[in-house]
Structure formats: C-alpha cells, structure tokens
C-alpha cells in the first residue's frame, strides 16, 4: 500500500507548508465579487479582513474539482494507490465527498477521516496519520487514534451576531433560532456530537459571561495542561489576549496559542469572533 496524505487549506496552512511535511493540500475557494480565489494561496487572512471591514459579501466552497482530479492523477502516476484524507469537516463542507468521488473515478482506494471541525485539530490529525504510518502502525490503529483525537476536541465560538452564519446555512436549526433573540450572546460549538455542524451551547447576556461559560465548559469536559488549547480571533487580538489570560488562570498549567481564525470560518462568523479549540494531541493520548 502506497499512501498519499491529503488535506486542505481549512488547516490555515498553505500548499507549500504542507509540501514540506510530505503532505498534499488543496485550497478551499473564497468567492469575492464573482471571482474565485484559492485560500492561503492568492487570498490571505489580511485580504479577507479588509473585505469584512468593507462589508463586501464573500462565499466559500470546496476546492476546484479539476484541481482535485489533477492532483489525484499526478499521485497515481507517482505510484500511489491510496488516498488518506483529513479535510475540513463534512458538517461545514462537501470537500470529503468530492475527494472520495475523484479517488473512485481513478481507481484509488480512499480513506477519509472526519475531523468534525477544522483549523489546528485538522492539521494535527493529518500529521498524526502520516507519522503513525511511517512508524509502522496499521491503518486501523491510525483511524482509531484520529477518532480519539476528534472525540477529545471541542471548538467553541463566541460571535457578535449570527447573520453571517445564518446566511451561509451552516447552523443547526436550534442555533439559527437564536438569531432572532435580542441582546443575547450565543455560545456555539462544533464537535463529534454535533457531527461538525455549528450548534448552540448556551445563550448569555454579555461577552464576559459567555467567556466564563466557555471556561466552565472546558473544565467540565476535562481540559487540562495536557490539552492543546488554541484561541482564535477575527481581527480582535486584544480581546483574544485577555480571553487567553482568563483561561490560563482558570486551568492550571494551560499553554495557549493565539492565532487568526482561518478565513473559511471567519467569513461566516464575521468580525470580532472569538473561538477556542481544545483537544488532546497524539502525544498525550493514553
């Protein structure tokens, strides 16, 4: 079995970055004014933020089908017979289906793992898969480990309003219903239980109380110093830094990394969004 490991730009990393890891990546598409751009290739986070500030409508979609087919054809020519993919979750995108369809058309075996989110945990999972394979683990062992990582993860979003998410159709009905409530800060999340769709966790009156709710949620699900904790933001660095400090004080030994929220998510959450992604990485799994 000769395996090619494949992901997409939902990780927040470019094709060049992943090529250095021996992993293939496909850019998700961002449409602006009728033009389609490759995420992390010819449209970057600062560009997306400028469009958000200017209230320019944007749409996101899966990688170009032709580019998927071209990549898989080239992989087949190089002698690969199996595609092992960890794309952006199926609850947010149809990328997984497109990858599987392209692989089947070319007679390639396809192994696709749903990360039930995107961003850092997506990248962690594809890296773990490649490392484990190179260390001699079986496919079954790799799949079990990736599912354990995904199961440990919760991605929690605090947004100022739900208009972007409602328009994109990426909310569960319960979460979408919160959009009609006034003076409410919805706490949203996506994980294995929600099948990667954005669902409502709670509704509170202030952003401070929403952050407190998230911290209590992290404690309840067992997040500790062994977890990888990411705080992401959409052009709200100062607020994200203060949020990170609250989490550090609440969870002993917590090490937190601050990042910009990936473009294909921030387009749907809008400016000011704060997100936490917490998961137990491969090295800390028992």
Secondary structure, 3-state, 138-201: CHHHHHHHHHHHHHHCEEEEECCCCHHHHHHCCECHHHHHHHHCCCCEEEEEECCCCCCCEEEE
Q: What is the CATH number of the domain that holds 18?
A: 3.40.50.10170
Statement to judge: residues 145 and 14 lie in one domain: yes
Q: Which of 151, 176, 198 is where one domain is finished? A: 151
Percentage helix, strand, coil, to 5, in the chain?
45, 25, 35
> Which residue segment(s) compose the domain that 41 sits in?
3-151
Statement to judge: residues 100 and 137 lie in one domain: yes
Statement to judge: residues 108 and 183 lie in one domain: no
Structure confidence by residue, pLDDT tens digits, 175-213: 555 555 556 778 999 999 999 998 889 888 888 999 999
Statement to judge: residues 169 and 277 lie in one domain: yes
Model pLDDT, residue 282: 95
Statement to judge: residues 146 and 180 lie in one domain: no
Statement to judge: residues 165 and 123 lie in one domain: no
| Residues in the chain where the model's pLDDT stays below 50 | none
Model pLDDT, residue 75: 98
Statement to judge: residues 55 and 126 lie in one domain: yes
Residues, the chain = 286
- Per the structure, the count of domains in the chain is 2
Q: Which of 128, 151, 174 is where one domain is finished? A: 151
Statement to judge: residues 213 and 202 lie in one domain: yes
Statement to judge: residues 66 and 101 lie in one domain: yes
Statement to judge: residues 135 and 162 lie in one domain: no
Statement to judge: residues 224 and 276 lie in one domain: yes
Q: Which of 125, 151, 177 is where one domain is finished? A: 151
Statement to judge: residues 16 and 72 lie in one domain: yes
**Cβ–Cβ under 8 Å, residues 41 and 27:** yes
Give the C-alpha separation, 11 to 120, whole Å. 6
Model pLDDT, residue 157: 96
């Amino acid at each position: 079995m000769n395996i090619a490991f494949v992901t997409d730009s939902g990780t927040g990393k470019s094709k060049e970055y992943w090529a250095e890891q021996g992993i293939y990546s496909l850019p998700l598409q961002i449409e602006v004014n009728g033009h389609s751009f490759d995420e992390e290739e010819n449209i970057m986070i600062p560009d997306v933020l400028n469009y958000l500030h200017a209230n320019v409508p944007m749409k996101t979609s899966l990688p170009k089908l032709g580019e998927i087919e071209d990549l898989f054809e080239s992989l087949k020519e190089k002698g690969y017979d199996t595609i092992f993919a960890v794309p952006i979750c199926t609850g947010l995108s149809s990328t997984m289906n497109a990858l599987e369809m392209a692989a089947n058309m070319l007679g390639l075996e396809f192994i696709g793992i749903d990360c039930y989110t995107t961003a850092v945990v997506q990248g962690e999972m594809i890296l773990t898969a490649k490392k484990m394979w190179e260390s001699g683990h079986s496919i079954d062992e790799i799949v079990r480990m990736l599912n354990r990582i995904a199961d440990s993860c919760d991605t929690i979003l605090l947004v100022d309003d739900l208009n972007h998410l409602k328009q994109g159709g990426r909310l569960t009905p319960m979460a979408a219903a919160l959009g009609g409530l006034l003076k409410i800060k919805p706490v949203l999340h996506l994980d294995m239980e929600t099948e990667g769709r954005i669902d409502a966790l709670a509704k509170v009156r202030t952003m401070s109380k929403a952050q407190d709710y998230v911290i209590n949620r992290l404690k309840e699900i067992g997040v500790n110093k062994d977890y990888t904790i990411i705080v992401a933001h959409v052009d709200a660095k100062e607020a994200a830094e203060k949020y990170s400090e609250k989490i550090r004080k609440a969870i002993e030994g917590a090490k937190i990394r601050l990042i910009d929220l990936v473009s294909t998510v921030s387009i749907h959450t809008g400016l000011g969004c704060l997100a936490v992604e917490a998961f137990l990485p491969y090295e800390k799994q028992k």
